[in-house]
A and B are shown apart, each in its own frame.
Chain A
Amino acid sequence: MFDIRLITAGICCALISLNLYAAPDIERQVELTHLLKHDCGSCHGMRLEGGLGPALKPERLASYSVEALTTTILHGRTGTPMPPWSPFLSEQEAQWVAALLKRGVAP
Chain B
Amino acid sequence: MKLLLLSLLILLPFSQAVAECLTRGTGDLGIIIERAAGSLKVIDRSAKRELFQVKGLGDLSHASAVYSRDARYAYIFGRDGGLSKVDLLCGLLVKRVVQGGNSIGGAISQDGQLIAVSNYEPGGVKIFSAETLDLVADIPATPISSKKGSKTVGLVDATDQKFVFSLFDTGEIWVVNMLTPSKPVIKKYTNIGKQPYDALISPDGRWYISGLFGEDGLAMLDLWHPEKGVRRIMDHYGKGKQKLPVYKMPHLEGWAMAGKNAFLPAVGHHEVLVVEQDSWQEQGRIKVHGQPVFVIARPDGRQVWVNFAFPNNDVIQVIDTESLTIIKTLKPGKGALHMEFSPRGEEVWISVRDRDQVQIYDTRTLEQTGSLPVDKPSGIFFTSRAHQLGL
Residues of A within 8 A of B (CB): 37-39, 41-43, 45-47, 49-52, 76, 81, 83-84, 87-88
Contacts and interface: CB of A to CB of B under 8 A. Distances in A.
A87 B309 CA distance: 14
Interface string B298-316: 0000000000001100000
B35 A50 contact: no
B247 A45 contact: no
Contacts of A49: 59, 79-80, 102
A105 B79 CA distance: 18
Interface of B: 35-36, 59, 61-62, 79-80, 102, 104, 120-121, 151, 153, 168, 195, 197, 213, 245-249, 310-311, 335, 353
Contacts of A39: 247-248, 310
Q: Is the interface of B mostly helix, strand, loop or mixed?
A: loop
B196 to A, nearest CB: 11
A76 B335 CA distance: 22
B214 to A, nearest CB: 8
Instruction: Give the interface centre of B104, B121, B245 by most chain A CB atoms within 10 Å.
Output: B245
Contacts of B310: 39, 42
A83 B249 contact: no
Contacts of A50: 102, 120-121
Nearest to B313: A39
A43 B35 CA distance: 14
Contacts of B195: 81
Given A42-B62, A46-B79, A49-B59, A81 B249 contact: yes
Nearest to A34: B354
Ranked nearest first, the 6 interchain pairs of A and B with the lowest CB-CB distance are A46-B61, A83-B245, A42-B248, A39-B310, A47-B59, A50-B102
B166 to A, nearest CB: 12
Given A38-B353, A52-B151, A83-B245, 9 more contacts: A38-B335, A42-B249, A46-B79, A47-B79, A49-B59, A49-B80, A51-B79, A51-B120, A83-B246
